[in-house]
Amino acid sequence: DAKTTQPNSMESNEEEPVHLPCNHSTISGTDYIHWYRQLPSQGPEYVIHGLTSNVNNRMASLAIAEDRKSSTLILHRATLRDAAVYYCILRDGGGAQKLVFGQGTRLTINP
């Protein structure tokens, strides 16, 4: 499984934008970039995914570098409910279907 690198933790303030980085320098052409988050004592929650183009949905935006070796999850206006562990995962579009979770980034939101 292709590897991703994320900061262990980040901190931001409520109502400010948050940019969560992810490096995936060994990404292959068929790998999708997925983001999930896990709130305390809950199951993981799908956030967003993309292949080459930037993506937007009601939860967040995903900005993918032109060479696809990195990406950034953008929360446009953080709330206290966004405090969670965020996982950046590569999903092989041409092979195994399973998602392999790393350690993720623990995001703390200050009121």
Q: How many CB atoms lie within 10 A of CB 57?
A: 11
Decide: is 100 part of the binding site for other proteins (CB under 8 A): yes
Of 75 and 90, the one with the shorter C-beta distance to other proteins is 90
| Using rule CB under 8 A, residue 7 touches other proteins | no
Residue 110 interacts with other proteins (CB under 8 A): yes or no: no
- What is the DSSP secondary structure assignment for residue 5, as one 8-state letter? B
**45-50: strand order across its sheet:** 9-13, 105-110, 84-92, 31-38, 45-50
Q: Which of 2, 14, 102, 106 binds other proteins (CB under 8 A)?
A: 102
The answer to whether the beta carbons of residues 69 and 2 sit under 8 Å apart is no
Report the residue from 34, 73, 82, 83 that binds other proteins according to the rule CB under 8 A: 34
Taking residues 57 to 96 in sequence order and writing x for each that binds other proteins by CB under 8 A, - otherwise, the string is ----------------------------------xxxx-x
Judge contact between 12 and 76, C-beta under 8 A: no
* CA–CA separation, 99 and 111 (whole Å): 33
Q: Which residues bind other proteins (CB under 8 A)?
A: 32, 34, 36, 38, 42-46, 49, 51, 91-94, 96-104
